[in-house]
């Protein structure tokens, strides 16, 4: 693992003292949405549904690689 430079360490120390950053992360933590939680407990039916859908999404058959050629790509 690469060691942090002095500048990176200084930046992390500065961020660790930032009150607003801590408040922002507390707000994110407080307002996060967990799709299979209901009233503070895990809804097993929702959790199994989540696992089933995520498995269907990630466990697909891999397509063969196709090289993309060209120099003018637009979305």
Residue 61 pLDDT > 80: no
Cβ neighbors of 36 (< 8 A, separation 6 or more) are 42, 43, 46, 47, 49, 50
Residue 10 pLDDT > 90: yes
Alpha helices by DSSP H, the chain: 6-16, 19-31, 44-58
pLDDT-above-70 percentage for the chain: 97
Entry pTM: 0.41
């Amino acid at each position: 693992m690469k060691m942090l430079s002095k500048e990176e360490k200084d930046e992390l120390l500065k961020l660790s003292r930032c009150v607003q950053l801590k408040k922002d992360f507390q707000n994110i933590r407080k307002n996060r949405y967990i799709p299979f939680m209901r009233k503070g407990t895990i809804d097993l039916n929702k959790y199994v549904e989540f696992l089933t859908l995520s498995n269907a999404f990630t466990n697909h058959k891999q397509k063969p690689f196709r090289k993309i050629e060209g120099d003018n790509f637009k979305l």
